[in-house]
Structures are given as structure tokens and as C-alpha cells.
Amino acid sequence: MSDRLQDGCIFCMIIKGEIPSFTIYEDDATKAFMDINPLTPGHTLVIPKFHTANIFEAPADSLGQVMTTVGKVSRAVDRVIAPEGINILQANGAGAGQSVFHIHFHVIPRAVDDGFTMNWPQVPGNMDDIGKTAKALQDDISKHE
């Protein structure tokens, strides 16, 4: 496993035990630990136990393992924290706010009045443009399967 980790990556260092963490779940493929800069109490991170910068580089089979752990953690957060809702957040690239370039999923307990926003106003889009984009994405997926 250590040959699949990257020197200098804070999450790889957590996996190797070089940096302490409040680990709440771990299996052969994934690790879940508390975010030390939490948005809300119970904010947890889920990572694969190998280095991959983002969803574009992650092997498809590893994403299923990570999402299984995201589900376990989300259910535990729901039972223990009892939030009014939970956001699952995963960012890819600086433009999306990714600050640690090791793929990770945030499990964030939320309350209606917690003051944090992730919602955007619903403004109807141009149906022709939406349809053209959908077709281009369908074609790309078919070409790369």
C-alpha cells in the first residue's frame, strides 16, 4: 500500500499514521476521520487508502468502495448527531474549492438555520442548450466506455 501513497500529501501521511487523526472507521480500502476544520460538529472526511488527486484520476472500482464507506459514515452521523440534513461534498480542482489534492468526500451534518449556504437560486435554463449539452455528454460517455 505504501507504494501507492504520495510523499507530502497530508491525507497519505494520515493513512501512514505520520499525522494523528480522529479515525471513526477504517477498512482495507478506505479511512474515515473527523475534519479538524469542521463546518459543523460531526463533519467527517472519507478517503481511499491510496493516492489519487481527484475523481478524474480515481480508478472506477475504488469509487464504489469509497461510497460504501460514505454511506456507513452518513448513517452513523445521522444517528449520533441527528442533524436536519447531511451534505455529501466532493470537489475536483482549485476552481471547485479543492484544497487537498487527494480525493476525499465530506460528510457534513446540516441544520436549516446553520447559516451555511450550498444552495443556488433555481433559474430555468435554456432547454435547447441543455439538450445540446446532454447529447454531447452522452456521446462522450459512449465513446469512452
Active-site amino acid positions: 104
* 30-57: burial string, b at 16+ Cβ within 10 Å, e else: bbbbebeeebbebbbbbbbbbbbbbeee
Contacts of 113 (CB under 8 A, 6+ apart): none
Position 47: which residue type? I
